[in-house]
Amino acid sequence: MRPGYFAEGPLARLTREFGLFGPLGDSTEPWMTAELDQHAAAVRDSIGADGDRLTGQGLSRYLDGFMDGCRERGWHSSCDGYDWETLRVLAVLRLAKEHGFVR
């Protein structure tokens, strides 16, 4: 197992949960790929703005802060379709998978 990989951490848990209904693999519709790429770029820029590298721990911290903000605004993931928040979470999880931070 990779150093820093947490089998039951928030990235792994959400990857399993969102992977049940969200497109975390390569077989994604072109519009979805474009949306996720834009969200992923924004996440990388946000993490890198402080001079940090993209790490599993950094993604976890970003996701924790993002989800806290979503909860404060009253957002929940039970809506139909892919709203902005769901796309951002999927992009974070996709980054984690692409970089080997989760399986």
- pLDDT for 39-73, tens place per residue? 999 999 999 987 888 998 889 889 989 989 998 99
Who contacts 5 (Cβ-Cβ below 8 Å, separation ≥6)?
12, 56, 101, 102
Report if residue 85 sits inside a domain.
yes
Report if residue 80 sits inside a domain.
yes
Q: What is the DSSP letter of 39?
A: H
- Overall domain count for the chain: 1
Q: Label residue 84 by pLDDT band (50, 70, 90).
A: very high
Q: Domain limits at 30?
A: 10-98
Report if residue 83 sits inside a domain.
yes
Q: Tell whether the model's pLDDT for residue 8 goes beyond 80.
A: no
Q: How far is CA 77 from CA 13, 51, 53, 58, in A?
A: 15, 31, 29, 23
Q: Label residue 4 by pLDDT band (50, 70, 90).
A: very low
Report if residue 19 sits inside a domain.
yes
What pLDDT is attached to residue 3? 43
What pLDDT is attached to residue 82? 81
pTM: 0.78
